[in-house]
Structure 1
Amino acid sequence: LKRPGVTLQLLWEEYAKGNDLAFKYTSFCVKYRQWAMGLKRSMRQTHIAGEKLFVDYAGQTVPLIDALTGEITKAQIFVATFGASNYTYACATARQTTADWIGAQVLALEYFGGAPRLIVPDQTRSLIKNPCSYDPQNNRLYEEFAAHYGCALLAARPAHPRDKPKVENAVLVVERWILARLRNRKFFSLMELNHAIALLLNDLNQRAFKKLPGNRRSAFEQLDLPALRPLPAKRFELFRWKSAKVNIDYHVEFDGHYYSVPHTLVRTTVELRASDTLLECYSSNQRVACHAVSHQRGAHTTTPEHMPASHRAHLEWTPQKLIDWGLHIGVSTAAVVTWQLEHRSHPEQGYRACLGLQRLARDYTPVRLEAACTRALAIRSLTYRSVASILKTGLDRQQNLPTMTPVALPLHENIRGSDYFH
């Protein structure tokens, strides 16, 4: 009877088939009950309205066919039921990952229109970080989910199905009344399958009880629903957690993109918490950075406030600002700055050369830099190295500027005279 879909009726039919001396069904059931009386006793559980929601996955799966390739995958069937009313929710997920488990529970709470005080899951690795019969440690994301909806988590003991007989029974009911009816249908997407499950789920919850008045739906409305906590205005958003070491450029990598954190955290390890749209960085349980998620692999997202002051100043420079700074020193310096910006293959090379000139102004004074730039213009050598060499050797202090001596060209028929250009 522990196997999916197996009932006493089925066992009796298999037993009686071809056996003329077989007990009648009623006698068979009496014999079974007598045998069951000798089994280990179990405690009857009393369920308080709105207190416990039991969750689990069914053992049976549903084939999903890829319409393009014909590949078949197995959809997993999630089941949730209330202890007091037996009101049941079911849906299909692609797998049984942490995201699948929590996403299905979010949908379940929205289906019920409220949250219970306790959720009782299996001790699956997807939800429980460290399984234990007495003090299991929940997954961090699962804890956040429970806190968002104001629920506590009470995982059932491993290998103790009697801790959650309600959901075990609900799984059997879903397998018999929903999955059995869908066994001959073909499904090509989770959306299509979930639509079919939803239609049959409504029928299941409105089926009349055999021994009690009403049905699961009416019992839920009378018992559980009034006792549920209201849902928060915003649906719980699934996050991923990841530990990352801060690189020397004060960025951390997540899914191939690089995000900045305060430069003081270089070479430390931070915790990253990412949703589909937002990435948060935590250090010592304090949020230190927040970025919009980017899917541009290899690129960087940088907040200027995370940079050292010197790097931030470099970032803020523009060509016009650099030229204005040069003019503040003198016209020769401005001419050398302009040359750096116009004669480099990449603008960043010009920026770095200009920042080098600023360093020279601090090391040798602006007056000497202007004199060195004047000499560099005179000798037509305007590179940063040339200006730095002039200052290092003290040539900027020489009064007489070098004169450019014309180079005598040999007479040759291929050399053009001045008249050629008029």
Structure 2
Amino acid sequence: MADYKVIMTLAIAGHSYDEIVAAAGCSRREVAAVKKTIAAYGFTAGQVSSMTPAEIAGLFPDGRKRVSEGYAQPDFGPVLAAMKANRHFTIQQAWGKYLASETGGGKKYGYSQYCALFAEHARVKDVVATLRHEPGRAMLVDWAGDTLEVVDAVTGEVTRLYLFVAVLPYSGAVFCRGFTDMKSPAWIAAHVAAFEFFGGVPQLVVPDNPTTATHRQQQGEAARVVNARYQQLADHYSTGIVPARVRKPRDKAAVESAVQVVNKRVIGYLAEEVWTVVDDLNAAIADRISEINETIRRADGSTRWERFAAEEAHLLQPLPDEGFDTVEWKQLKVGRNYHVSCDSQHYSVPYTYAGQLLRVRVTSTTVTVFDGDQVLCQHLRRQGRKGQYSTDVTHAPEQHQNIDGLWSRQWFLDRARGFGPATGKVIEQILDRHAIEAQAYLDCQNILETLGKRNKQRLEAACQVLLNNGHDAGSYSTIKRIMATIDSDTKRQKPPTPAAVTRKPVSGAGTAVHVRSAAHYQLGGQGAGA
């Protein structure tokens, strides 16, 4: 309903129709009615300001009230209570019960009018207290519901990236970073990153109730306690953990709002692109968060970061001298490829330790390998796709070093020389024979992998035969035929086998075999009776 007192005040002040409509949120018809009334009674600004609501209502009676008297008025109190107690209860169910009721008499409202009346009732009756957030007091955290994807450039495997969101509700400053899972190490690392992003620690951290944050001490017990590792984080940063109450979304309304912002302005912008590296995607997320915090202006004209820097940053507790990190110790065996495997990722150690058991310290960012108390090496911890290798070239034996990389000329030549000099020379000739060198890589791969995988000596012998015969370069088929003629024991070509003879062997020494001529078998021939 229009506020006629405001409209009258603006009209007497001489404002135009458009200005009054914009300021009072009314229609032009209501402005016209007010102007007629002022002209008829000659009201002044002082008279209008002293009028009571009843006097205003008398001047502008609501015709809708007379109409509504002919309708059965719904009772929205029980409806509002039912919707709070049962999240599956709908307004349509309430309208159905209203139509079926016999009380009240009169006509029944249609569905659209029933919804409008209920919305007005809820606006007036379902009021809640506004949370007043103190600067620097709390940080609300949660996982965003939606995810982004990282596609491995080699295998095509898709990895989901889960977005951790933290917000300071007073200033609205937002932090977001992606992780490949939502397990406890990622949960802890996300908090550490958030504290470093804000440059300080709030008095409270308010999470939801995921298993990485809280648990029940006994099954069926309603009370929850903070997980031991999460509590260690809180102790290290001198902050408190106060999980939101179950089924009380208003306890964490600020982070729910921040999640919606992230869904729209981070995921909505980045989901259409193809990402192959987790770090690259996190860098893009950081750029989007920077825009949210520093560029977008809110209703009061300020940005989130301006308010954070001016009123909140100095109230955060300082970061401790040493950051908090999860530490896990493992005893791992070094493989024949002088790498240890940890959480499906592989890290190199000096090749002389192949086959030995070593102690490995694993944190969220590093993997450190020990021989007793001596540090052998340290690697940045691999994240994302399983099966990645972190290799220090100095750990490899001399014959494995100075390799340019997979599918390169040097890579094929180094592998071929491992079979022998003849194989190396043939592979080099094959590479030189092609105008586009990369077109020779498949032939080289087939020769080394298929023909030489279990027959290294035979492949070397076949390549030597090829060179001895003066061929500039062979092919997979040529080398395969030569290998078929090489005896697997002597690694030499088989001796030539003479062709079969038609002469029958002699049965005894000095005894000849008499063979009759064809004429002997002709009818009437001289030798027919012999």
TM-score of the superposition, structure 2-length normalised? Answer: 0.40
Relative contact order, higher structure (CA 8 A, sep 6+): 1
